[in-house]
């Protein structure tokens, strides 16, 4: 059985998308899906390639029981469209970059992560990079909620 690929994308792959990768891995594990999924994250820019997540993101995640410290930033590449069935951008700007690079034959889902959870009343995970600790907590709140929704949807697809 082939694995379903899930990719989370933000600008630099050091705050929002590695947080989403780590949180969704935990949600997928709790849902019994982890062995059926290939989960990763990437950035649209090359500023931080090879770098660990921002220390503030790592600390906020650790406080909630998620370990993202071992993740390393990478830049999205065209080949990712062949590897991932679902590609979720954290905001409109990065979604547009992804839409511009999407191959014409890509048949997977490309969209905003928070569109999975319209009840949140926001469509973008705000970039916490220039903010304080509370902005990382806010991003985590949104990411946790959408991750649970995504895990439920994928579990329903795999029934």
Catalytic residues: 10, 16, 127
User: What is the C-alpha to C-alpha distance for residues 146 and 45, in angstroms, rounded to an integer?
Assistant: 24
Give the helix/strand (H/E) hosting 16.
helix 16-30
Q: Which two tokens stand for residue 36?
A: 């059926």
Give me the torsion for CA of 74, 133, 122, 13, rounded to 10°: 0
131: left (phi over 0), alpha (psi -120 to 50) or beta: beta
């Amino acid at each position: 059985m082939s694995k379903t690929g899930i990719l989370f994308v933000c600008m630099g792959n050091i705050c929002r998308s590695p947080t989403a990768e780590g949180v969704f891995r935990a949600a997928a594990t709790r849902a019994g899906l982890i062995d059926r999924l290939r989960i990763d994250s990437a950035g649209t820019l090359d500023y931080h390639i090879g770098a660990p997540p921002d220390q503030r993101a790592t600390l906020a995640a650790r406080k909630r029981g998620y370990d993202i410290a071992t993740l390393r930033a990478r830049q999205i590449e065209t080949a990712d469209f062949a590897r991932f069935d679902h590609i979720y951008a954290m905001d409109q700007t990065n979604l547009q970059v992804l839409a511009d690079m999407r191959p014409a034959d890509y048949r997977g889902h490309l969209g905003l992560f928070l569109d999975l959870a319209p009840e949140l009343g926001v469509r973008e995970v705000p970039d916490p990079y220039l903010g304080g600790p509370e902005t990382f907590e806010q991003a985590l709140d949104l990411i946790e909620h959408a991750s649970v929704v995504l895990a439920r949807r994928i579990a329903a697809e795999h029934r």
